[in-house]
Chain A
Amino acid sequence: DVKVTQSSRYLVKRTGEKVFLECVQDMDHENMFWYRQDPGLGLRLIYFSYDVKMKEKGDIPEGYSVSREKKERFSLILESASTNQTSMYLCASSWLAESTDTQYFGPGTRLTVL
Chain B
Amino acid sequence: QKEVEQNSGPLSVPEGAIASLNCTYSDRGSQSFFWYRQYSGKSPELIMSIYSNGDKEDGRFTAQLNKASQYVSLLIRDSQPSDSATYLCAASGGTYKYIFGTGTRLKVLA
**A interface residues (Cβ-Cβ under 8 A, vs B):** 31, 33, 40-43, 45, 48, 50, 56, 58, 90, 94, 97-100, 102-108
Instruction: List the B residue with the shortest CB-CB distance to A110.
Output: B41
* Among listed B13-21, B45-53, B55-63, B72-80, interface-contacting one: B45-53
Which residue of A33, A58, A98, A105 is within 8 Å of B43 (Cβ)?
A105
User: Chain B residues near A90 (CB, 8 Å)?
Assistant: 43-44
**B interface residues (Cβ-Cβ under 8 A, vs A):** 8, 31-32, 34, 36, 42-46, 49, 51, 88, 92-98, 100-103
Which residue of A45, A50, A99, A107 is within 8 Å of B32 (Cβ)?
A99
Give the docked Cα–Cα distance between A81 and B109 (Å): 41
Across the A-B interface, the 6 shortest Cβ-Cβ residue pairs = A99-B92, A42-B102, A43-B100, A105-B43, A108-B43, A100-B32
